[in-house]
Amino acid sequence: MFKKNRSIVIVLLVSAIVRLWGLGVYPGGLSLSEASFFYLSPFWIRFPFFVLGLLSLYLFYHFLIKLTANKDVSLIATVILSLTPWHFELSRVYSLSMPIFVLFLLILNLKNFQKIIKAFLLILCFIFTVSIFNFPIGIGNKVDAQRLNVNKISHPVLTKIFVNKLTFSFQEKSGELFDGFDFGLYFFNGHPRERWGTEETQKFFATTLVFAVIGIFLVDKKKMVLMIEVFCIFVLLSGILGKIDQHILLGTSVVYSYFTSLGIMFLWEDGKKRLIFLILLFFSLFELIYYGNLYFKNLGESRFSPRREIYLDITQKVKELRKEDERVVVNLKLIDPKQYFKFYLKDKNLDNFEFREFDIWQESLKNGLFVDVLPDEPGPAEPLYKLG
């Protein structure tokens, strides 16, 4: 059994070792969702997603074996998925996208998966269409403000036709849908305000793009249709969920890893093109090493990452400076500092703690410890809090 599956076992073993390394330390800090698991350490909060990540690799390999009947292509594609920054990172943090990804791969391993995929795609198209009529909170205020501006240059009747809740909702939902077709989202830094949690971080290695493009021209028509369907499913899910979890697009890595493996096999097997393969491989390895170096130095996080490493430092500093029964006032400017204080201080009640916005120069409280948030929009290299 081991000899028959030795290659994939080795891939899974190496992937496990790399993903377990510093699991509770890298990436630094916790997201708000992670901090809500009060009784667990960062390692154990993330461990289930490490397991799901490994499971997804095996399911992906098994699916490709069934799809292609080619162990080499399946193994290479699994290695690529394992090394992909997106999959690697989501195997080390709390994210709803990873269990959804595993569930989808389980579906792909079912006997009649192609019929299920087509039906699922149609259902998602219907749900997305209906979601346009589910108007976002606060959309009425946006419509009123826009109408005031347009009424100055247009007739009120035309304003109601072209500026209304439906047109605003369509613009917003279609914008979220087409985010999935944004080339920069996958290979380069995205705009930080558009994709909270997925912004400014590379999902796939740009140096592997040549392999993927070659693979696109090699895949047969039937498999190409399937890959397009898979891609559209996750783009639609992303459009439906909106900014709840843009990492749902992780599912597109199924398509990318498969195409890339085809390109690699093509260049390697053709002796005349092997030099091209080796050159591209060199740059890909360089990018991989560069990425790993940044990641394990906690320098790979987005400027607007939801994880805030500084909360650990600040809560420990509060422990050191706070006198017995002294009141602590924390400025409520960034995310939800209260949840982080509960987690790191292991104190659910936080007696004598107050979380609100304040101006230190106008406070009348004496003998209190004030924790202020500076600046309003910090980056990982800037201080989030200043003790006063």
Most confident among 13-27, 155-169, 301-315 (mean pLDDT): 13-27
How do residues 190-201 score in pLDDT, each as one tens digit? 544 444 444 567
If asked whether residues 48 and 183 sit together in one domain, one would say yes
Residue 36 belongs to what domain range?
6-136+163-295
Residue 1 lies in a domain: no
Closest CA to 187 of 205, 173, 200, 172: 205
If asked whether residues 177 and 259 sit together in one domain, one would say yes
If residue 97 lies in a helix (H) or strand (E), which one and from where to where? Answer: helix 97-108
How confident is residue 222, by pLDDT bands cut at 50, 70 and 90?
Answer: very high
Q: Domain end: 246, 267, 295, which one?
A: 295
Region 363-369 average pLDDT: 76
Give yes or no for residue 90 having a pLDDT over 60: yes
Query: Which of these ranges, 14-18, 81-85, 131-135, 258-262, has the smallest mean pLDDT?
Result: 131-135
Residue 157 lies in a domain: no
If asked whether residues 227 and 263 sit together in one domain, one would say yes
Higher-pLDDT residue of 365 and 343 is: 343
Number of separate domains in the chain? 2
Region 78-101 average pLDDT: 93
If asked whether residues 289 and 320 sit together in one domain, one would say no
If asked whether residues 100 and 175 sit together in one domain, one would say yes
Region 69-81 average pLDDT: 94
Region 141-146 average pLDDT: 66
DSSP string for 166-215: HHHHHHHHHHHHHGGG-HHHHHS---TTTSTTTTTS-SS-GGGHHHHHHH
Q: Which residues contact 212 (CB under 8 A, 6 or more apart)?
A: 256, 259, 260, 263
Give yes or no for residue 141 having a pLDDT over 80: no
pLDDT at 161: 63
Region 308-319 average pLDDT: 84
Question: 80 near 58, Cβ under 8 Å?
Answer: no
Residue 290 lies in a domain: yes
Give yes or no for residue 116 having a pLDDT over 60: yes
pLDDT at 267: 93
If asked whether residues 237 and 319 sit together in one domain, one would say no
Count of Cβ atoms closer than 10 Å to residue 206 Cβ: 13
How do residues 153-172 score in pLDDT, each as one tens digit? 666 666 666 666 677 777 77
| Distance between first and last Cα of the chain | 64
As a whole number, the mean pLDDT across the chain is 83
Q: Domain end: 231, 264, 295, which one?
A: 295
Residue 201 lies in a domain: yes
If asked whether residues 214 and 73 sit together in one domain, one would say yes
If asked whether residues 242 and 193 sit together in one domain, one would say yes
